[in-house]
Structures are given as structure tokens and as C-alpha cells.
């Protein structure tokens, strides 16, 4: 019987008595899902959470003043690990609901799942094992972008490169937030708040480690694909019925990457590689690459992000 065991052992007149005390257990991981009126895909995101092989988690699903049936979708799972809170006012971006989830989080680690993305069953298991084995601040896995007709893109980039990991592939220590602060609001900065949060950690010297496994799928976020496909359901079915799903997808990513690298160098690719090289040099010197684009204004990136989703570009 170790420290923190809910059984209290007492000796009286040579006899051992065991008393059971009620002790509230702290979850290892808090999963945060920021959502706004996407109950159709939120359903599949939660399904991919609940089939995790690592079960010691709580989840806060935070609505950005949702007006659809998202609350009913959460309740339909009847799982005590799922918690719902709907913000009273719409903020227009995931910073506010994410920060609300961070304030409510009780886990040692934080994981993020977008309301239109899905995890493979070993996602949390892989990242928790990696971050603890490497004694890191952040762990992230391979993420596959799923585009229309099943096209693939984006092998993950190391954390000192221009683009930090996508949050559905990420796990970090909760106390990082106490040290570095919460996500910024879009009107406060030029960069994407997700990028700014992770870049701040990079510049602070926090340790990022890659878990070399495919564990997360991110679906293309543009309006026309939101309305025309139900890829989340298709992929959940493929994952649940094909034990070699991850290996096949990784093979596809490798073939596509080879085809791109071995093909002719286009003017677009040459400009892209040059720009990325300059950004990489700036980051290694602790400078934000957005200084290369002085025409950008605070909030302009998120206005474009909202427009791509058919939302009012506030």
C-alpha cells in the first residue's frame, strides 16, 4: 500500500483494520476540444477519443457560444469523462474556448483535438509514453492532412523549423501554461495564436520530441469540403476494420514525398524553399518570421481563416 492509496491501515489490539476513504483521482491527461456549431464532425472526434487505449483522461468540450445540438451530441455518449461548457459569447476563434479548457484542466498533460479531426486509437498512449520517457515538455506525433479524394500532404516538421506541430498531434505539460501564458487572442498578434503559443515555447528553450508514429488525422478545413464530404466517418470505418491502416497511410505519405522531391523543381517550389530557409534562419536567432511580411496586421490571418470556412471575417 503506497502513498495516496485510498485504503487506510490501522492496528488495534494486534488486529489490522482497513478503512476505505474517498479520494478524487487526478487524470493524467486533459483533452480540450474547442468547437463551434460542427456537431456532425464533433461526433466522430469524440468517438476517436473514446476508443483510446490510454483511458486515464478527462475531456473538456468548450463551445464558442454554440447554437446547434453540440451539447446533445456530447451527452449522447453518457461518459463521465466528457465535460461540456458553452461560452456565453462567440469569440470567433478557438483561443477563447481553448483557454477556458486550460483553466478547467486538472490533468498533468494537455492534449488537443479539433472538432473535425480524429485520432488513431494509440494516440494518447504513444504521446504519454514519449513525453515521460524523454522527460520532455512537448511531444508530438506524425499527422496526416486528409484532403479531398484522399490526397495526402505534410510530413511533420521538426520543432525548430518554420512551422510548429499541429495541435491535434501534440501533448504538453500543463504547467507550461502557468509559465508561458495562455493562447493569445487573434486581435493581439499577427501570427496564428497556435503558432505563437508554440513559438513562445520554442524561444523559451522548451524540449520538443517527435514520436515517430502516425496517430492523428487532420481534415482539410475549407468550406466546400465541409459541406460536400463525410470523410471522418469513412476514415473511422477504415481505421476500425484495417489493422494495417497506419502502415498503409505512412507508405502513401512516403511515396508522395518521394514523388514531390524527385520531380522537376518548379518556380513555386524554388520560391517556397528559399522563403522557408530564411524563416528557419530567423527562428534559430530567436526572431519571429512574420517580420518578413510587414503588411500583415493583427488578426488578418484569422480573418482569412474564417473566410475560408464560410464565416464572417470579423
So where are the chain's domains? 29-262
In this prediction, residue 310 carries a pLDDT of 61
H or E element, residue 307: helix 300-308
pLDDT > 70 fraction of the chain, expressed in percent and rounded: 76
Say what angle helices 39-50 and 231-241 make with each other, to 10 degrees: 20
| Contact indicator for 155, 257 with CB cutoff of 8 Å | yes
pLDDT tens-digit readout, 157-191: 555 565 778 899 999 999 999 999 999 998 788 77
Rounded-to-integer distance, Cα 183 and Cα 97, Å: 10
Q: What is the Cβ-side half-sphere exposure of residue 179, based on CA atoms within 13 angstroms?
A: 12
Mean pLDDT throughout 91-116? Answer: 96
Checking if the pLDDT of 80 tops 90, the result is: yes
pLDDT band at residue 7 using 50, 70 and 90 as cut-offs: very low
**pLDDT at res. 253:** 84
Between these two residues, 17 and 195, which has the higher pLDDT value? 195
Q: Global pTM?
A: 0.83
Give strand pairing partners of 209.
139
Cα separation, 302 vs 205, whole angstroms: 27
Is the model's pLDDT at 101 over the cut of 50?
yes
State residue 44's pLDDT score.
97
Q: What local confidence, expressed as pLDDT, does residue 277 receive?
A: 83
Percent of the chain with pLDDT over 90: 54
What is the C-alpha to C-alpha distance for residues 93 and 231, in angstroms, rounded to an integer?
Answer: 23
Q: What is the mean pLDDT of residues 286-313?
A: 66
- Kind and range of the H or E run holding 276: helix 267-284
For all residues of the chain together, what is the average pLDDT? 83
Q: What is the pLDDT of residues 201-238, one digit of tens each?
A: 988 999 999 999 999 999 876 555 455 457 899 999 99
Domain 29-262: CATH architecture, name and number where available: Alpha-Beta Complex (3.90)
What is the pLDDT, as a whole number, of residue 180? 93
**Which range, of 6-10, 100-104, 239-243, averages the lowest pLDDT?**
6-10
DSSP code at position 208: E
pLDDT per residue over 250-290, tens digit each?
Answer: 998 888 878 877 888 888 878 877 877 887 788 788 777 77
With 0-12 CB in 10 A as exposed, 13-18 as middle and 19+ as buried, what is 185? middle
| pLDDT given at position 18 | 40
User: Coil, strand, or helix at residue 70?
Assistant: helix
CA distance 127 to 216: 11
How many residues appear in the chain? 314
The per-residue pLDDT for range 9-50, each reduced to its tens digit, is 333 344 444 433 334 689 999 999 999 999 999 999 999 999
Amino acid at each position: 500500500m503506497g502513498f495516496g492509496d485510498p485504503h487506510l491501515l490501522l492496528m488495534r489490539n494486534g488486529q489490522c483494520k482497513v478503512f476505505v476513504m474517498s479520494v478524487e483521482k487526478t487524470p493524467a491527461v486533459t483533452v480540450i476540444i474547442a468547437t463551434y456549431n460542427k456537431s456532425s464532425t464533433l461526433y466522430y472526434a469524440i468517438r476517436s477519443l473514446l476508443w483510446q487505449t490510454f483511458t486515464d483522461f478527462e475531456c473538456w468540450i468548450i463551445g464558442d457560444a454554440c447554437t446547434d445540438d453540440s451539447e446533445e451530441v456530447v451527452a449522447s455518449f453518457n461518459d463521465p469523462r466528457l465535460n461540456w461548457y458553452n461560452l456565453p459569447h462567440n469569440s470567433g476563434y478557438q483561443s477563447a474556448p481553448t483557454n477556458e479548457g486550460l483553466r478547467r484542466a486538472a490533468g498533468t498533460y494537455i492534449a488537443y483535438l479539433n472538432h473535425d479531426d480524429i485520432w488513431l486509437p494509440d494516440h494518447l498512449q504513444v504521446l504519454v509514453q514519449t513525453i515521460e520517457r524523454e522527460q520532455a515538455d512537448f511531444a508530438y506525433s506524425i499527422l496526416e492532412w486528409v484532403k479531398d479524394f484522399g490526397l495526402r500532404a505534410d510530413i511533420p516538421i521538426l520543432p525548430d523549423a518554420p512551422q510548429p506541430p499541429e495541435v491535434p498531434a501534440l501533448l504538453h505539460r500543463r504547467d507550461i501554461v502557468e509559465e508561458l501564458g495562455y493562447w493569445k487572442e487573434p486581435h493581439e498578434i499577427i501570427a496564428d495564436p497556435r503558432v505563437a503559443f508554440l513559438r513562445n515555447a520554442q524561444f523559451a528553450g522548451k524540449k520538443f520530441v517527435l514520436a515517430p508514429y502516425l496517430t492523428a488525422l487532420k481534415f482539410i478545413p475549407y468550406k466546400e469540403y465541409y459541406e460536400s464530404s463525410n470523410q471522418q466517418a469513412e476514415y473511422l470505418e477504415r481505421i476500425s476494420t484495417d489493422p494495417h491502416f497506419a502502415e498503409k497511410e505512412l507508405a502513401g505519405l512516403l511515396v508522395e514525398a518521394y514523388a514531390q522531391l524527385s520531380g522537376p523543381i518548379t518556380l513555386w517550389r524554388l520560391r517556397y524553399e528559399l522563403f522557408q530557409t530564411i524563416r528557419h534562419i530567423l527562428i534559430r536567432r530567436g526572431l519571429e518570421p512574420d517580420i518578413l511580411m510587414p503588411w500583415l496586421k493583427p488578426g488578418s490571418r484569422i480573418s482569412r481563416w474564417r473566410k475560408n470556412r464560410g464565416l464572417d471575417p470579423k
